Amino acid sequence: MSSWPLWVLAVIFLVGAVVIWAAGIQLSKTTDVLDARLHLGSALGGLIVLALATNLPEIAITVSAAMSGSLDIAVGNILGGIALQTVVLVILDFFGRRGQGVKPLTYRAASLTLVLETLVVVAVLAAVIAGSQLPSTLVFARLTPDVLVIALLWIVGLFLIQRAGKGLPWHESGQAPDSSPHVQGHRRHTPEKKMSVSKAAVIFTVSAVATLVAGVVLERAGEAASTQIGLSGVLFGATVLALATSLPEISTGLQAVKQGDDNLAVSDILGGNAFLPVLFLVATVISGKAVLPQANSSDIYLTALAALLTLVYTVGLIFRAKRRILGMGIDSLAVLVLYIVGIVGLFAMSAA
C-alpha cells in the first residue's frame, strides 16, 4: 500500500472507520443480548469475553502491527487509545444529557466501584512504565515478566470490581444516594427482547469478523498514509488511529447516557482502558520480542498523560461537583484542556 496515492489510502481508511463504527454498534447490541440470556456479566469469564468484544478494533490493529513488525504503531495505538478513550467521557458529559438543571456525568455516576476502576487503570499504566525500563533480553517462551504482571493486575482488578459490585462496607454500599441507578455489569443498554441467542451469535460473529478485517485495513492504510505525510507511528497511533478505534465507544456511550445508564457508560470506558495494556502480551507473543522495553519517550509520555487524565476523573467521582462550565463538568473541562496541551506537547516532542 505504500505506493498507493494518498487520497486512495484516505478513502480506504475512512471506509474502514465506517465499518468499525457500524460493526461496533452491532457488537454492542448483540453483546447485550448474549450477556442477558447467558448471564455473561455475572462471571469473571464473562467480563473477559465482554472486554474482548468491545476492544476488537484495537486487538485487530495490535495483531496486524505485531505481525508486520510495526510495533510502534501498536504501542502508540494502545497507549494513545487509553488517553483518547478517557476523553470520550468528556464527549459523553457534553453531548449525553443537556438542559437546565442537568448535573455533570461524574455527579450522576457516583460510585466507589467506578473509583476502584480508575485505580485499576492507573495501576496497569504504572506497570507499563515500569516494564519499559526492563532490559529487552528478558524474553522466555515468547513472554516477558512485564506483560505477565500487567495481565495479572487486570485479572485481579476484575476480581475486585466484581466483588465491589456485590456490595461494599460503606454507606449505601458505596453508591451515592442521589446518583443514577447502578446496575453491575458491562451492558450498555437494554437488550432487544425479540432477538434470539442464535441470531445474536450470528450477528456478533459477522460483526467481529468485519471489525477484525477493518482493523487490519486501518492499520495498513494508516501506516502507509502516515509515512507519506511524514507523521510518525506514535503520533498517528495516538491520534488518528486511536480516534477511529474509539468510534464504537462514542456511539454506544452516548446512547447509554441518554438512556440513563451513566455509570455503565463510564464503567465501559474505564474497563476498556484497563484492558488495552493487556494487548502488549498479545504483541509480545506474536512478535517474540520484548515490546515495552522498546517504548520511546513519546510512549511513556502518553502513558503518563493517560494516568493523569484518569486521576482527574477519580477526583471528580469523589468530589461530585455540581457545577457545569461550558456545558460540561469541571473534571471533564480539566481533562479536555490537559489532553489538548498533552497532544501539543507530543507534537513538540516529535518535532524536536
Three cell numbers at 5? 496515492
User: At residue 64, what is the residue type?
Assistant: S
Q: Per the structure, how many domains does the chain have?
A: 1
What are the C-alpha distances in Å from 117 to residues 93, 123, 157, 224?
Answer: 18, 10, 8, 36
How far is it, in rounded angstroms, from Cα 110 to Cα 32?
Answer: 23
* pLDDT string in tens for the chain (352-residue length): 667 888 888 888 889 888 888 887 787 777 777 767 776 655 555 566 666 777 777 888 888 888 887 777 778 778 888 999 999 999 999 998 877 778 999 999 878 889 999 999 999 999 999 999 999 888 888 899 999 999 999 999 988 988 887 777 877 766 777 666 655 544 445 556 677 888 888 988 898 888 888 877 887 787 788 777 776 666 776 777 778 778 777 877 887 788 777 887 888 889 889 999 999 999 999 988 889 988 888 889 999 999 999 999 999 999 999 899 999 999 999 999 999 999 899 888 877 6
The answer to whether residue 255 is domain-embedded is yes
Q: Is residue 35 part of a domain?
A: yes
Which residues lie closer than 8 Å to 341 by C-beta, 6 or more apart?
none
Q: For residue 178, is it within any domain?
A: yes
Q: What is the CATH number of the domain that holds 54?
A: 1.20.1420.30
| 1 in any annotated domain | no
Q: Which three cell numbers stand for residue 45?
A: 469469564
Note down the domain range covering 293: 6-351
| 238 occurs within a structural domain | yes
Q: Label residue 127 exposed, middle or buried (CB < 10 Å: 0-12, 13-18, 19+).
A: buried
Angle at which helix 279-287 crosses helix 145-165, to 10 degrees, equals 150
Tell whether 221 is covered by a domain. Answer: yes
Cβ–Cβ contacts within 10 Å for residue 42, how many? 14
- 255's grid cell: 446512547
Please check whether residue 116 lies inside any domain of the structure: yes
Is 218:61 a contact under the CB 8 Å cutoff?
yes
- Model pTM? 0.86
Is 32 within the bounds of a domain?
A: yes
